[in-house]
Structures are given as structure tokens and as C-alpha cells.
Structure 1
């Protein structure tokens, strides 16, 4: 029996955790002991404990943008700019995060680490510690080279972004020398590992033009059957999944109230009782994440923040999507989703009168969007089925020597 550490550091969405849980479940079934280290343990431990009963859940490290509203106005041209916004350039903060991950490693003594968006763990991990890295296209820039532009439509990285990357690399290497680790050649190397699995679809990968290795179909979303044509779904409900701190949350609730259809809603990071106080009468508030495989093939519309896993689930189900991206990662996913012509994005400032309500009315009333959703489901469903999870688990077993 091996000791396996599942580690997650950056990112607010549950996609990171769901990828780790899927792999952890397979390894637990094989008899390995699983420990999970997460940011915001109080909020995420119940999800882990439901999915992996008996698993030890530790507090890892959590990074926060000091002023999220200000951060949204700061240009982010490369992944270095994004990480910079979290204060990763501050030596005292990065050293504290590094020490926390060293403490976690000392406590767990893992035979294998499986990490999702956990660069500081990579910074302190010894070369002899077997590691598997999971992530979506956004969180795993191509290793072994300077960071390319984060926006797929951009051609070059500005000088300021390149300077951020150099400073971040210099700081990371100062700490690596402190811990007796070999220096990194590129900052991007912190986001990959000895075995790396990028789980995305080509339309959502910001680095598709620069990536040398193949990507894997997302496995943190189950294979979802396409539903009937949208016009045949009648007065079926809509689905809503947004985080509690989303700037469009109030607007989305107002849009739901305006449509008069039943809405199944999950708001992550907020107690259901609190959500219910602000929810319109036609909203059913769920205590745990929605069962997308059951709900979406019947749903008239899906409202979400443009998380990759949710967007992919909606494509499979053939449901028209209203996406409300609040950061660059989600804006990139929204752009890829719009290529299927089955989704609408609202990028306007929160509180813009009628923006979200108007978009939802269009989604519920425009036949062209319905037809495009059906075509997207057929296109995605026709792609080769690859058992990505099996490939990841095989990579883990390889590193464990069994």
C-alpha cells in the first residue's frame, strides 16, 4: 500500500478538486492510502469526505488577490501576470507557502504526489519524489520554454510581462537553492511534472498553438448523453452554477426570476440557507453540486461562470449556455464556447441593467441557438472516446512501480 498525496493550491473552481478526486478514488479502490491537501479546508473538506470516505484532509495553502475588483482591471498578457496578481513575487509570502508545503510533505511522507495547480509544491519537491501533474489548458503552460501569450489571439508577450516572468523565476530559484534543489530553466516548468496530463478540449486550450504533447479529454465530467432537441424540452428547468463571490450573481438571480421557469441552482462557497434568502421563488437551491449528467440533457438553459468542466458538460448535453466570465481564464473558455454558436456571454460590468436578463431571454427564445446546441452535442459526441482517467491512473501506477 502506497501513501498518495492529492494537492491543490490555486484556483477557486471545483474542477481542480474533482480531477483529483476521480484519480484518488481509483487509487483508493486499489488499496492505497489517500491524503488530500486543499486551500480553504473548511469549505472543501465536506466534498472530499463525501467522495472519498475516510480520507485525511489537510489545510494546504491558499492565495488571494488582495483586491479582486482592481485585479480585473490589471492587464494579464501571460500566465506570469496572472500569478503576479496573487503576490507570488513577494518573497515572504512565497517562502511561507513553501514552508507549508514542506510541512505537508513531512507529515504525509508520500510515495506519490498528484497535484493540480500547485506550483509551490513543485518548487519544494525533491527530484526523487514521484509526481503527476493534472490541469486544464490554462493552468499548465507548455514547459521548457518562455511563457507564450495567454490570449490565443495575441502574437507576443509585452516587455512588462516578460519582466514579471524573469522576476518570478529568479525568486523561485532563490528558494530552490535554499532547499537544495536544482534551479529551473523556465518559470513554466513549475506547472508541469515528470508525468503531466492536460485535460481540456482544443477549443478551450489557450496554448493549443504552442503545445507539443497531446491533451486528454476532461475526465472530471462524466460522459453525458445528448438530450432531445431544445424545442422538445418544453417547460423543463434551467440550471445555474456560480460561485458566491461572482460579480453577476445578483443579476443572474434577477434573470431567473424574470424567466418564470424552475431553476436548479448551486452556489459554491455560500451556505444554502443564505442562498435561499436571496433566491427568487422559482429557484430550487441545492446543498451539493448539481448532477449534471441527469439535469442537463433535459434543461432548457445552463447559466455558469465559464468553468471548463461545466462548459464541456453543457456541450455534450446539447443545452444552450449563458456564460458570465469574471476572469481571463473563464473569458478564454467563453470565447472557445462561442465558437460552437450555442452560447452567449455577458462581459459587461456587473449591474448593467438588463444585460443578463436579456441574454437569458434570447437563450430561451432563439431557435438558432437551440439548433447550434444540438449540432455542438453531435460534434462533440462524434469525437473518439478515450479513457483519459485510465491513462492518468496508469501513469500513477507506473511511478509507484505497480
Structure 2
């Protein structure tokens, strides 16, 4: 029996866990042990508890509350998560190494886990990258801009990368690991599971990539039960911290549509305050594929898996990004014509007008259906099986410790 360690360090929500869970099931069915090392344990038991997967808290960066500059590229994300403080970064990398020593994995799967990758350098361990395009930048120097639609001086990208590279290499030296020539070296692994489609890749300039397709797999959750309302059904996956959530809920309630919303962590008091005959709020996860199979429209914040699932189901979308990855995903959805977005800096969104436009104009639904038809042959189960089989082949050919 081999042991696979799934490592998740950056990002939010429970989409990371849900994405790898079908692969983990197949690995366990083949007789192997999978342990999840997670940034956020909030929904670990909901998603993993019934299946008795082991899970642990990942060593993560704790922000000090100071405002952070907008990340220009992936190096900027690392700068904002402590990579310019070598002493603190070393502690986190050393904690990852302690996990490796105690758990003795045969394969490491990195999902937005750069410090776990840094800690693995120089060790006789085999690693694989897993995730959407955003967290797997292409091998270039400096790493490309995240917002190519805005002017970004190449010198700024290079300067940010130089500062982050210096911090990472200081830690690598203390770990007696090979240093990095460029930051792209950090992403050199035995395999890259790029779980997206070219049209949705955060880096459209990527070349010579194998796209495995997005992780659109059935997850644990409740069956959707639609409230009363008009024939039009709207499904929403929203965050309670979204600044304009109140006005959005008012607009949905006033629409008269049958609206079913999943808002993780929503209290019973919050749900009672905002829900109505035509609007129901669920704090616990719902079965996404079932909700999308019966809805007409979707509203969400631009999560990669959620957006791709909506497209595959042929559903037009209102996308409300709150951070850069979501903003990129929202832009890709609007580029294929399947939805509209509200930029995070919009102070007073006119939700009623946006929702009316999205529901009344047939071009959005037509574009979403056309995209879904293009990938109608995509089989999430087959993808999960293929990834699991590749993981096992990596284990079979891994280097042996002395």
C-alpha cells in the first residue's frame, strides 16, 4: 500500500477538496492511503468524514491585517503570503518537512501549495501539480501578469519576482535543498494535472500544455429543493462576506423567481432575515450538478469549478468576483459570451437590471449551450480515473531513498 499526500495551502472555499476527492476515492479503491493536508478544515468533515479519509491542518501563512498591494503576477501572490520574510517562511517549510518525515508519503499532490513544493525540494519524493490554470503559471521569466488587460511594466514583474526568489532561495539554502534559478523552477514536478480547458485558462499564452479538463465531480451535499416562485429558477453559490450581498438578496427576492442559494456559514438568523417564499438560503453544501441540471440561471463569485460546471450545463451566469482569480475566471466566461460580471470595485451594482438582461437576452444562454455542446463528451469520472492511474504510475517509477 502506498500513501498519497494531498497538499492544499492557498485559496479559499471547499472546491479544492471537492476537486481531488474523486481521484482520492479511486486511489483508495486501488488499495492506497490518501491523507488530505488542508488550509481550511471548515468543511473537511462534511466532505471527507463519511468516507473516513484522514485530514490534517496545513502549515499556512497568517496575515497580520495590513492592507496588501494587488498582486501583479503569481510572484506577487507569494509576496503577499510571506515569501519576503525568510525566517517565517522557513518555519512553514520546515513544518511541511516534518509532515513528510512523519507521514512518509510515496506521492505528493500539490494544489496551490507553493511552500509544500519548496519544502519538497531536494527530498527523494515525487510530486505532481493539481489544479486550475491560475495556480499553475507557465514556465516563463518573469512569471506573466495576471491582468494582461491592464498596463503592467515588465520591470515591476521582474522586481517582484526577484524579491520573492531571494526569500525562497534563503529558505532552500537553510533546508540544504537546490536553489531556484527562476521562480518557475518551483513548479517543476513529475506531472502537471492542469484541470481546465484552454478557453478558461488564466494564462492564455500557455503553450505545449495538456489540459485534463476541469474537476467537475459529484460532491456530498443536499438535494436541491426549489422554493415557490415563477417558472424561472436561479441557483446561487455566494459568500457571506460579499460586500453587496444584501442588495443582491433584495433584488433576487423582488424578482419573483424561484431562487435557491448556498451561502456557506450563513446563520439561521441571517437566512430567516433574508429568505422568503421565493428565496431559500442553505448554509450546507448542495449537490451542484443537481442544482445546475434544473436551474435556468446561476450567480456565483467566479470559482473555476463552479464557472466551468455552469458552462458545461449550458447555464448563463452572473459572476461577482471578489479577488483576482475569480476576476480572471469571470473575464473568461464573459469572453465566451455566456454571462456578465460585476467587477469587485463596482460600488452600487444594479442587480435588477443585470439579472433582467441576463434572463431576457437569448444570446447568453445560446453561448453557454454552445460551449457545453463543444465539451459534451467530457466525462468527469473518466478524467478522475485517468488522473488516479497516472498517480499510480508516478508511484511505481518514483526514486528510491538511499
| TM-score using structure 2 length | 0.87
TM alignment of 1:163-312, pairs within 5 A: 163-221=159-217, 235-268=231-264, 270-273=265-268, 275-281=270-276, 282-312=278-308
Q: Could you tell me how far apart the structure 1 residues matched to 2:243 and 2:217 are?
A: 25
Residue 129 of structure 1: how far off its partner (Å) = 0.5
1:37 paired residue number? 37
Unaligned runs of 5+ in 1: 224-232
- Contact (CA 8 Å) 2:4, 2:33: kept in 1 or not? yes
Q: Could you tell me how far apart the structure 2 residues matched to 1:50 and 1:197 are?
A: 25
Cα distance change of structure 1 residues 40 and 382 upon mapping to structure 2, 3 Å threshold:
closer
Q: SS of 1:134's equivalent?
A: strand
Cα distance change of structure 1 residues 359 and 67 upon mapping to structure 2, 3 Å threshold:
farther
Residue 64 of structure 1: how far off its partner (Å) = 5.1
1:116 maps onto 2:111 in alignment: yes
- Contact (CA 8 Å) 2:217, 2:381: kept in 1 or not? no
What is the root-mean-square deviation in Å for CA atoms of aligned residues? 2.7
- Contact (CA 8 Å) 1:272, 1:286: kept in 2 or not? no
1:24 maps onto 2:43 in alignment: no
Residues 30-68 of structure 1, C-alpha deviation per residue, up to 9 Å, x if partnerless? Answer: 121221111132x032234246x2222111133355558
Cα distance change of structure 1 residues 44 and 143 upon mapping to structure 2, 3 Å threshold:
farther
Q: SS of 1:319's equivalent?
A: coil
The 10-residue stretch of structure 1 (151-160 or 274-283) with the greater mean CA deviation from structure 2: 151-160
2:6 paired residue number? 6
Cα distance change of structure 1 residues 64 and 346 upon mapping to structure 2, 3 Å threshold:
farther
1:365 paired residue number? 360
Residue 158 of structure 1: how far off its partner (Å) = 3.1
Unaligned runs of 5+ in 2: 220-228, 398-402
Q: Could you tell me how far apart the structure 2 residues matched to 1:192 and 1:315 are?
A: 31
1:99 maps onto 2:97 in alignment: no
Q: Could you tell me how far apart the structure 2 residues matched to 1:329 and 1:66 are?
A: 22
Residue 309 of structure 1: how far off its partner (Å) = 0.7
Residues 108-145 of structure 1, C-alpha deviation per residue, up to 9 Å, x if partnerless? Answer: 12121112011111111144101121011110012364
Residue 324 of structure 1: how far off its partner (Å) = 0.3
2:338 paired residue number? 342
- Contact (CA 8 Å) 2:83, 2:168: kept in 1 or not? no
Cα distance change of structure 1 residues 275 and 37 upon mapping to structure 2, 3 Å threshold:
farther
Q: Could you tell me how far apart the structure 2 residues matched to 1:275 and 1:191 are?
A: 42
Q: SS of 2:90's equivalent?
A: helix
Q: Could you tell me how far apart the structure 1 residues matched to 2:380 and 2:345 are?
A: 39
Residues 335-375 of structure 1, C-alpha deviation per residue, up to 9 Å, x if partnerless? Answer: 110122220101154651x5223211222222333333333
1:47 paired residue number? 46
- Contact (CA 8 Å) 2:196, 2:212: kept in 1 or not? yes
| TM-score using structure 1 length | 0.87
Match of 1:389 among 375, 384, 388: 384
Q: Could you tell me how far apart the structure 2 residues matched to 1:333 and 1:104 are?
A: 33
